[in-house]
Structure 1
């Protein structure tokens, strides 16, 4: 293992681990990753290893269909998938959960009741008032609220990169209103959606008709202005998430007008933002504030190729800001382009960063 860490123990080697008191972790924490066979779950395992999270035991959990399969953990280790339905959460300190809302709704409370802190990547708990919704760089102080339920929510992927970009600007000049259009990759819908894009693209070159299954229309060579289900007011649930999650994380007075679009890419979400401020703001001070903020990289050259695309951000941890410029249609306005790897900062990385903050500030 990297860094000379001890080989991870398995449940069979340790027997039933009894819950240890907080502050007695001489070697590390016991971590369970729920939804370990999914794209986000696999990325969580990779990032735990990459960042050398202080774990002396990691368990990979999924449904009974995946029991006994193997998933990678780091460069030279594998974990055996265990059936979450048979798993004993006693003795687990932290659960990183990304199995889908229905599964999380069932097992997150069970894990919390057993003494674990659950960091949930699904939408199920996000808007519950007694569950903190956390982007560590933006609202770390809200994490203290985890003690109410033993559950912490990870925001929606499109929300995470947006509020990270907005936070330093909000501190600088107070945001009044945000108009945002998203360009979201198929990985946000899961592996089956990525496969659909691949198969449709290949089929078109072979003169085969596209057969949409995961999406309501052909995704290959297309853009679909529809993510999640439609609501009564004509918006979609994805757009609703961006509005209300931003208010919960950043500021309840910030108004957000989103249009969320699925595009024919595999990884990396793009967002085009027009932001109106209460106070005067200029491009230079905005760029300086963004550059100094953790987790943000400003790549903005006013020349051909002087910006970052979704394809280029895949595998990267940062939220990239480009095309920063004045919006002349309002008194105090800026426009910019924002991209991020939706599987990393938009999901798995943010989840692990919450766990790191939890360990650093609360579980010692």
Structure 2
């Protein structure tokens, strides 16, 4: 007997990716329903070789749904996730709405899968921020080996992290530049085409942006509260896949060769690190892939026990949709959730 799964936000970038990944991985679902806002009702979306008609969120009865993967934004999740969870349907939420709630597990399966068992408090599990997900996948095996004290991370985040309108803006601006049309920023505060914007999410009182704060808070919750982390998050004119330069200071000695060997064996990681032109991964190659790619691993001679590396991952997949589906797989594979139909 399989599970019944609802994908909320099925018409968005991440929602469509969730449907695609559920089909690709052969998720044990007898039924998958696509859900979105009322204005999208009746829209058709692809699920494997099938086509699903989108249902309006307020019309769905979740009492016979086992798992709801939610990618509809924080305000929708704040309102609906508790209602859905109250019907004993586990919500795996991609927004920031529940990440910092003490009663809601924040899970990256390669890092802290055991935490998923805590879903029973609210029947909600949070997905981390896309930039955090790939970071902790790369940090976890190194932390286990040499104990991380401090991380300095600079991100180079693709426009897809800001949604479809942001992707359209990059395309429109790029075309405008080539034909000498005026460039008008709408989604972003400044022009994104052929430019970099050191500003993601809102500014906070201390001068950091909320995106940078998220990376710090989430890394501590997922990996280790004792780790010190500072981030600078930059939006770049790339459509899909986030890149990060990660500088790590360890308590114990670890060499670049040791790190390379450890990461080659680590779940979710793929090391491509040749000391030659092209011997590294770029966002272009990572787009559409599930792995977190790690390149340019080298020793940082400015601190004792330091390493620097380049980490790239598809933010729509590992940073969002894939991670949510992997959480659902953890619930099933560990026997934490039985199908309501079977009961």
Tell me which interval the TM-score lies in, with the shorter structure as reference length.
Answer: over 0.9
Distance 1:85 1:212 in 2: 34
Distance 2:268 2:44 in 1: 32
1:71 corresponds in structure 2 to 45
Determine if the alignment matches structure 1 residue 54 to structure 2 residue 25: no
Distance 1:327 1:210 in 2: 41
Q: 2:195 aligns with which of 207, 222, 226?
A: 222
Q: 1:111 aligns with which of 75, 81, 84?
A: 84
Deviation for aligned residue 1:53: 0.3
CA deviation map 1:231-286 (0-9, x unaligned)? 00000000000000000000000011100000000001000011000001111111
1:13 corresponds in structure 2 to none
Deviation for aligned residue 1:204: 0.6
- Tell me, what secondary structure is at the counterpart of 1:307? coil
Deviation for aligned residue 1:89: 1.0
Deviation for aligned residue 1:159: 0.1
Determine if the alignment matches structure 1 residue 149 to structure 2 residue 122: yes
Unaligned runs of 5+ in 2: 339-343
Q: Report the TM-score, using the length of structure 1 for normalisation.
A: 0.92
Distance 1:35 1:237 in 2: 23
CA deviation map 1:33-81 (0-9, x unaligned)? 000000000000000000000000111000000000100001x201000
Distance 1:246 1:308 in 2: 24
2:173 corresponds in structure 1 to 200
Deviation for aligned residue 1:88: 1.1
Distance 1:156 1:301 in 2: 29
- Tell me, what secondary structure is at the counterpart of 2:109? coil
Determine if the alignment matches structure 1 residue 309 to structure 2 residue 263: no
CA deviation map 1:168-189 (0-9, x unaligned)? 0000100000000000000000
CA deviation map 1:130-178 (0-9, x unaligned)? 0000000100111111000000000000000000000000001000000
Number of equivalent positions: 337
Following superposition of structure 1 onto structure 2, how do residues 81-96 of structure 1 map, counting pairs within 5 Å?
Answer: 81-96=54-69
Distance 1:297 1:79 in 2: 34
Q: Greater relative contact order: 1 or 2 (C-alpha under 8 angstroms, separation 6 or more)?
A: 2
Distance 2:51 2:82 in 1: 28
Question: How much is the aligned-residue C-alpha RMSD, in angstroms?
Answer: 0.5
- Tell me, what secondary structure is at the counterpart of 2:224? coil
Unaligned runs of 5+ in 1: 1-25
Q: 2:298 aligns with which of 306, 318, 325?
A: 325
Stretches (4+) displaced over 3 A: none
Determine if the alignment matches structure 1 residue 232 to structure 2 residue 205: yes
Q: 2:5 aligns with which of 27, 31, 36?
A: 31
